[in-house]
Homo-oligomer: A and B are copies of this chain.
Amino acid sequence: MSKAITSREADYSQWYNDLVIKGELADYSAVRGCMVIKPYGFALWENMRDALDKMFKDTGHVNAYFPLLVPKSLFEAEEKNAEGFAKECAIVTHYRLKTDPSQKGKLMVDPEAKLEEELIIRPTSEAIIWNTYKGWIQSYRDLPILVNQWANVMRWEMRTRLFLRTAEFLWQEGHTAHASKEEAVEETLRMLDVYADFAENWMALPVIKGVKSANERFAGAEDTYCIEALMQDGKALQAGTSHFLGQNFAKAFDVKFSDRDNKLEYVWATSWGVSTRLIGALVMAHSDDEGLVLPPRIAPLQVVVVPIYKGEEQKAAIDSKVNDIIKELKAAGIRVKYDDSDNARPGWKFAEYEMKGVPVRLAIGARDLEKNVVEVARRDTKDKTVVTLDGVAQYVQGLLTEIQQQMYNKAKDYRDTHITPANSWDEFEKLLDGKGGFIAAHWDGTAETEEAIKEKTKATIRCIPLEGEKEPGNCILTGKPSAQRVLFARAY
């Protein structure tokens, strides 16, 4: 194999980086903390984006586009939101370069082109959007506004990792405006369900729906709901958030509507987002030491066909048969590639497509052709079978569905066996340093206790689960009463 990757056991973090780089999902760039999303990684993102976009539209949302830059005075209008993001802002201060008189061929910032007011590259768009909504909303007839934006955003992180935490990332951000609190809360939860549906049914990624503690809440939100996933190293990853923003942004930007009784009220808001971070989650949840393992529904390439031949005559016979198979697969809506390039041997190709996580590989040689069969290898289990060429498209279609389901089941089994109750501090610490995963423990509900636990263990409250039994008990650290167990974990 041309590209050796570090095993999970040897170095999980290096394994992840190897997969992203050698699987050709992304590349480091010349810009600190920013990555290049390579064509293969971007094709994956396109499939995810298109599926999500359809789900948003099916739930009544439309897309729009708002400016990249936010004037500082707007940015600081909602104080908590501004405070939350202030330390991570890229700031535009000038609008022109000029020739540097001291260095031939070089440019310098033109000091005379200083902006009167600094502009912030959006770390999130509530401010610019709610400032716009002010002009769109007068009456209850203008509500709800159900808008989504696909965009790049920038958060100046000090420690970055490909996909998981980058200074610039791609995401979607929904921003909705409503006439009542009930409707806004309903929207917040509807979009949480859309995210969970997408994660589970497209990414094969089981998630737990919950609400964040006050400490972990989005800056400016009344409540932050989330979906939490579990990675193979036992660490959690927040895969999406949906915020009930109350009237905070309406008040900050003075957005009121006259209701049916002609009374002026502040508008209710939600926002919700998922990002290219999901690709990091996808990689870490399913892949193995041979490379990526991608769920068929979003894999850029679902099937690869590799010919095995000696000489032109064998090649021609295989080509002719494969062309029929490809036609059939394409007609069934399957993303398939015939790799008959002559610059690599079949074994090298096998390893390459394993690295790239292509769900199904068909290999066909001269003897297979005689027998009217093809070898089918699945990426997730590495099982190989020989099937007859008649009806191979139908077989492959069924197999893709099965792989999708089994990848989900496998991840869910792992996740379910890694939600462990802890009933004492001792147990809690042992679980964290040993088995890992989610620890279901009681918590007294205070920010102080949460902080103390985080300081001692680096574990945070991932969420207060929405589903499951609500059994009362006593806080794992303070012994004070607790209404229900919450989920702790170390997290990405």
- Tell whether A152 is near chain B: CB-to-CB under 8 Å: yes
Task: Please judge, given known A-B contacts A91-B93, A96-B156, A97-B87, whether A34 and B67 are in contact too, CB under 8 Å.
Answer: yes
Task: Please judge, given known A-B contacts A118-B109, A128-B31, whether A66 and B97 are in contact too, CB under 8 Å.
Answer: no
When distances are taken between beta carbons in the complex, the residues of chain B under 8 Å from A64 are 36-39, 42
B29–A132 contact, CB under 8 A?
yes
When distances are taken between beta carbons in the complex, the residues of chain B under 8 Å from A135 are 27
B91–A120 contact, CB under 8 A?
no
B27–A39 contact, CB under 8 A?
no
CA distance A284 to B69 in the complex (A): 28
B27–A71 contact, CB under 8 A?
no
Q: Which of A73-81, A215-223, A376-384 contacts B (4 or more CB under 8 A)?
A: A73-81
- Tell whether A119 is near chain B: CB-to-CB under 8 Å: yes
Task: Please judge, given known A-B contacts A92-B90, A97-B120, whether A68 and B29 are in contact too, CB under 8 Å.
Answer: no
- Tell whether A161 is near chain B: CB-to-CB under 8 Å: no
CA distance A86 to B118 in the complex (A): 19
- Chain A residue total in the interface (Cβ 8 A): 65
- Tell whether A63 is near chain B: CB-to-CB under 8 Å: yes
- Tell whether A267 is near chain B: CB-to-CB under 8 Å: no
Which of B27, B96, B132 has a CB less than 8 Å from the CB of A87? B96
Q: Which residue of B lies closest to A65 (CB)?
A: B37
- Near B by CB (< 8 A), chain A positions 208-234 give none
A66–B96 contact, CB under 8 A?
no
When distances are taken between beta carbons in the complex, the residues of chain B under 8 Å from A93 are 91-94, 109
B106–A96 contact, CB under 8 A?
no
Distance (whole angstroms) from the CB of A352 to the closest CB of chain B: 14
Which of B63, B67, B107 has a CB less than 8 Å from the CB of A168? B67
Distance (whole angstroms) from the CB of A28 to the closest CB of chain B: 9
- Tell whether A186 is near chain B: CB-to-CB under 8 Å: no
Q: Which residue of B lies closest to A156 (CB)?
A: B95
Interface majority SS on A: helix, strand, loop or mixed? mixed
When distances are taken between beta carbons in the complex, the residues of chain B under 8 Å from A106 are 76
Bitwise, A100-138 to B at CB < 8 A (1) or not (0) is: 000001110100000000111100000010011001000
CA distance A42 to B63 in the complex (A): 6
B97–A29 contact, CB under 8 A?
no
Interface centre among A29, A109, A147 (most CB of B within 10 A): A29
Distance (whole angstroms) from the CB of A258 to the closest CB of chain B: 14
Task: Please judge, given known A-B contacts A141-B343, A147-B39, whether A97 and B86 are in contact too, CB under 8 Å.
Answer: yes
Q: Which residue of B lies closest to A30 (CB)?
A: B131
Distance (whole angstroms) from the CB of A127 to the closest CB of chain B: 9
- Tell whether A82 is near chain B: CB-to-CB under 8 Å: yes
Which of B38, B72, B79, B96 has a CB less than 8 Å from the CB of A88? B96
When distances are taken between beta carbons in the complex, the residues of chain B under 8 Å from A91 are 92-97, 109
When distances are taken between beta carbons in the complex, the residues of chain B under 8 Å from A147 are 39
When distances are taken between beta carbons in the complex, the residues of chain B under 8 Å from A207 are none
Distance (whole angstroms) from the CB of A392 to the closest CB of chain B: 26
A74–B132 contact, CB under 8 A?
no
Q: Which residue of B lies closest to A74 (CB)?
A: B30
Which of B39, B65, B119 has a CB less than 8 Å from the CB of A62? B39
CA distance A297 to B90 in the complex (A): 40
Q: Which residue of B lies closest to A70 (CB)?
A: B31
B128–A30 contact, CB under 8 A?
yes
When distances are taken between beta carbons in the complex, the residues of chain B under 8 Å from A99 are 86
Which of B89, B94, B109 has a CB less than 8 Å from the CB of A95? B89
When distances are taken between beta carbons in the complex, the residues of chain B under 8 Å from A36 are 64-67, 132
A96–B86 contact, CB under 8 A?
yes
- Tell whether A402 is near chain B: CB-to-CB under 8 Å: no
When distances are taken between beta carbons in the complex, the residues of chain B under 8 Å from A170 are 65
A95–B90 contact, CB under 8 A?
yes
A31–B67 contact, CB under 8 A?
yes
> Would you list 25 pairs from A and B whose C-beta atoms are within 8 A, ordered by A residue?
A30-B71, A30-B132, A31-B69, A31-B70, A31-B128, A36-B64, A36-B67, A39-B62, A39-B63, A39-B147, A42-B65, A43-B62, A43-B63, A67-B168, A69-B154, A86-B96, A86-B97, A86-B107, A87-B98, A88-B95, A89-B95, A89-B97, A90-B95, A91-B94, A151-B152
- Since A68-B152, A87-B96 are in contact, a sample of 20 more A-B pairs with Cβ atoms closer than 8 Å, ordered by chain A residue number, is A27-B135, A29-B67, A30-B128, A30-B132, A31-B71, A31-B119, A35-B67, A36-B64, A38-B64, A42-B65, A43-B63, A72-B97, A82-B97, A86-B98, A88-B95, A90-B119, A91-B95, A92-B92, A93-B93, A95-B156
